[in-house]
């Protein structure tokens, strides 16, 4: 399916640039209540820029694993698809309402324990720098990098050819 991509929209136990830390299970009630189909897929958190839909949103032991499909009939989604494939944009960012959190005074961190997830956006600069698109239909980045690395080992740049005498 063209336009399908996967990645992590949030990672558990890692502080974002605003000192928020999402805890395991924070999305469970919201996902049970809404399901992936009611969470919007936006460009840069702009509600006037829906660019596709979520096929699946699940918590695993690492974080919030997502699989989405860009609607390539939409011009902005085609632009975003091209940017993701070229690795110019790959950030993911969550839009939510906090239902339960606790502040840690010594560290300044806010532990987010229960969230109402409204939307997940593809963004240029995510608040959680490690929340990224990992694969996109037509270009699995990790696989592409492995192939390039292997090719360099197998086929190193050859020295200039010398004429045979």
What are the residue ranges spanned by the domains of the chain? 4-138
The active-site residue, picked from 45, 49, 59, 113, is 45
User: 89: which strand partners?
Assistant: none
Mean pLDDT of 9-18: 97
The active-site residue, picked from 10, 30, 81, 93, is 93
Q: How many CB atoms lie within 10 A of CB 103?
A: 10
CATH superfamily of 4-138: Herpesvirus/Caudovirus protease domain (3.20.16.10)
Mean pLDDT of 107-133: 97
The active-site residue, picked from 10, 30, 81, 119, is 119
Give the pLDDT confidence score for residue 153 in this predicted structure.
66
Query: How are beta strands 139-140 and 46-59 bridged, if at all?
Result: unpaired
Six-digit token string for 114: 């229960």
pTM (predicted TM-score):
0.81
Six-digit token string for 26: 């924070």
pLDDT greater than 80 at residue 1: no
Q: E strands along the chain, which residues?
A: 4-11, 20-22, 40-43, 46-59, 63-70, 91-104, 109-123, 133-136, 139-140
Residue 119 among the catalytic residues:
yes
Q: Please give the Cα distance from 64 to 44 (Å, whole number).
A: 18
Q: In which band, very low, low, confident or very high, does the pLDDT at 144 lie, cut at 50, 70 and 90?
A: very low
Residue 56 among the catalytic residues:
no
pLDDT digits (tens, 9 = 90+) for 46-96: 999 999 999 999 999 999 999 999 999 999 999 999 999 999 999 999 999
């Amino acid at each position: 399916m063209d336009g399908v991509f996967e990645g992590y929209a949030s990672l558990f136990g890692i502080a974002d640039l605003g000192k928020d830390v999402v805890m395991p299970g924070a999305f469970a009630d919201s996902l049970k209540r809404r399901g992936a189909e009611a969470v919007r897929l936006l460009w840069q958190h702009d509600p006037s820029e829906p660019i596709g839909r979520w096929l699946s949103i699940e918590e695993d032991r690492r974080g919030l694993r997502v699989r989405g499909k860009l609607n390539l009939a939409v011009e902005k989604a085609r632009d975003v698809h091209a940017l993701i494939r070229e690795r110019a944009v790959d950030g993911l960012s969550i839009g939510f309402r906090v239902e339960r959190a606790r502040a840690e005074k010594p560290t300044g961190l806010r532990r987010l324990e229960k969230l109402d997830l409204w939307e997940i956006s593809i963004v240029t600069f995510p608040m959680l720098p490690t929340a990224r698109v990992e694969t996109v239909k037509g270009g699995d980045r990790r696989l592409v990098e492995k192939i390039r690395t292997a090719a360099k080992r197998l086929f190193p740049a050859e020295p200039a050819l010398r004429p045979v005498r």
